[in-house]
Amino acid sequence: MKKIILLFLCGFVSLFAEAQVLSYESYLSAFTYEERKAMKINSVELTVMLEEGTAQLVDIRFKEEYEAWHMPAAINIPMNELPKRLNELDKSKVIVTACPHKDRAIMARTFLKLKGYDTRYLTDGLTGLAEYWRGDNAREFIQEYNLIHSK
């Protein structure tokens, strides 16, 4: 009897978990102007959210690209590894996907959205972020970021 109840509960819980995942068709059918705006974030907005500790930046480039150069606030989860590494994402934060421009970031963002994450893609890409994080902006960001993450 305990096994039957346990199996029933496992089945019920898995059905509920599945309900949180959107199908691509459902996502497209419900797409609105608000979603079009909500799916994007620029470097200025990202910087504020990282300083506040409300965003997680995910660099979805291949490992070799990341090793050549990367942003100190980003974690690297190559897009082809993303399905197996979802446990590394902080569901309490907005997940921001990024690549040098935005093509792969949009794909990764859509995948995460369909998995139930609050996610955006970096509209100006990592190259735009690198351009923004220069001089005083870089110094101020690193000071704020280190202050938050040293707690």
Residue for token pair 């599945």: 18
Mean per-residue pLDDT, 77-92: 98
Helix and strand totals (H; E) in the chain: 8, 5
C-beta separation of 117 from 27 below 8 A: no
- The span from the CA of 145 to the CA of 73, in Å, is 8
Tell me what pLDDT residue 111 has: 97
Tell me which architecture the domain covering 23-149 has in CATH. Answer: 3-Layer(aba) Sandwich (3.40)
Whether residue 11 has pLDDT greater than 80: no
Least confident of 32-36, 88-92, 147-151: 147-151
Q: What is the DSSP letter of 83?
A: G
Tell me what pLDDT residue 66 has: 97
